[in-house]
Chains A and B, each alone.
Chain A
Amino acid sequence: MGAYAYVAPQSVDEALSVLGEQASSGTRAQVLAGGTDLLVQMRSIDRGARTIIDIKKLAETNRLDVGADEIYIGAAVCSALMNEHEALKALLPGLMEAGDLIGSTQIQGRATICGNLCNSSPAGDSIPAQIAVRAVVDIANASGGRQLPVEEFVTGVGTNALEDGEFVLGLKIPRPAENSSDAYLRFIPRTEMDIAVAGCGVSVTLAEDGTCSAARVAIGAVAPTALLVPAAAEALIGSKLDDAALQAAGEACSTASSPITDKRGTAEYRRKVVAVLCRRAAAIAKQRATGA
């Protein structure tokens, strides 16, 4: 298997300097969070030697804060821990349910939503949910760090905007306004432990009279990357989230998608299903936002 090494830095600077050394010496380094993608890949499709940098010992990556303006979910926070946080569940139920869909109890005991994002699979369940709630990626690098909206982070199948020497510290999410909520739905052939055929995350904000004043819609597994669908949000904004508006938003999702055909479903089927998921997720988000 060649020369593997394992390091668990105690500070962000130390992690960055290990990443920097690897980049300048041309050897391979890879960040480890929950390992639920990485270890599977290490045993199957990607056996090459590398230095594994475990980022779970850093104070920054273990942050889980619900602030007055901003929510922070660190890159070492596993799904199970996230879903035990009552305030988070109340504020971001859609993102939490996306985390709760990833694998079994055992997988959720390790898997992080930042790892889901960095793995950058088209079917990564939490990615559309992250986009729907306006999550921004907090990236550490040697020049003081940078921030990037999630919808700009994934660049293709399994590729993302991280440069050599960078890693993700966590996600910053604006605290949802009053009368806001979100939802995420996916379709899989089984009820547990499968890869999404299509997924859709929706967030909505309602005015006093129930009119939708803000919305975000994102789709997954129906294009090379998860996509923000502005046309779907526009169909919802200004409406009472009635059937006609939901129908229009669903159609916008179908139009925005460019799915593939594989054993889990044909392109045509996926295009249909993503519209259904959008309508249902929007209806759930609405119901949650009204506090029902």
Chain B
Amino acid sequence: MAKVHVTTRINGEAREFLCEPHQTLLDVLRDELGLTGTKEGCGSGDCGACSVTIDDRLVCSCLVLGAEAEGAEIGTIEGVAGAELHPVQQKILEHAALQCGICTPGIVVAAKNLLERHPDPDETTIRYWLAGNLCRCTGYDKIIRAVQDAAKELAHSA
């Protein structure tokens, strides 16, 4: 079976990898590149644990082939924090908006992408934007508060 050679950028760095033609981007990130921050919940597009961005668009990496990353710019949870945590991460901690944490990387990537596109979202916008990120633990309210707070923080620092 011929492997596919892919040249891409991940979190701003040029990367190359070989993958099976039917291997998902999620499996490539985790199993070939050691980027295990991106999680697998369902593998079928329902839970959002595998959220990444492709050319700044939020997607489920379990529904993208590794081969489709050719020439694209991929953003994963590993690229979110700089020297300090991103405000979305910091506020999730402050609001105790996580328990087991399996959904958290996906929520952080999705919420960061939301705030880049809609810096001042109302609660309904946040809830719909994150509707594809399931959380079994928190009951969501704390996550929503954390994202609202992060939006405020980003507005101040802008």
State the A residues within 8 Å of B (CB): 1, 3-6, 8, 32, 34-36, 39-40, 42-44, 52, 54, 56, 78, 80, 103-107, 109-110, 192-193
Contact = CB atoms under 8 A, between A and B. Distances in A.
A105 B63 contact: no
B132 A105 contact: yes
B107 to A, nearest CB: 12
Contacts of B22: 1, 4, 6, 42, 52
**4 closest Cβ contacts across the A-B interface?**
A104-B132, A6-B21, A4-B21, A4-B22
Nearest to B24: A39
A115 to B, nearest CB: 12
B59 A109 contact: yes
Contacts of B70: 8
A4 B45 contact: no
Contact of A107 (B4, B43, B45): B45
B132 A103 contact: yes
Nearest to B6: A6
B74 interface: no
A4 B1 contact: yes
Contact of A39 (B20, B21, B58, B65): B65
Interface in B56-104: 57-60, 62-65, 67-68, 70
A289 to B, nearest CB: 26
Contacts of B59: 106, 109-110
A4 B67 CA distance: 12
B14 interface: no
B48 A4 contact: no
A42 B131 CA distance: 24
B144 interface: no
A153 to B, nearest CB: 24
A28 to B, nearest CB: 13
Contacts of A43: 43-44
Contact of B65 (A35, A36, A44): A35
A14 to B, nearest CB: 15
Contacts of B153: none
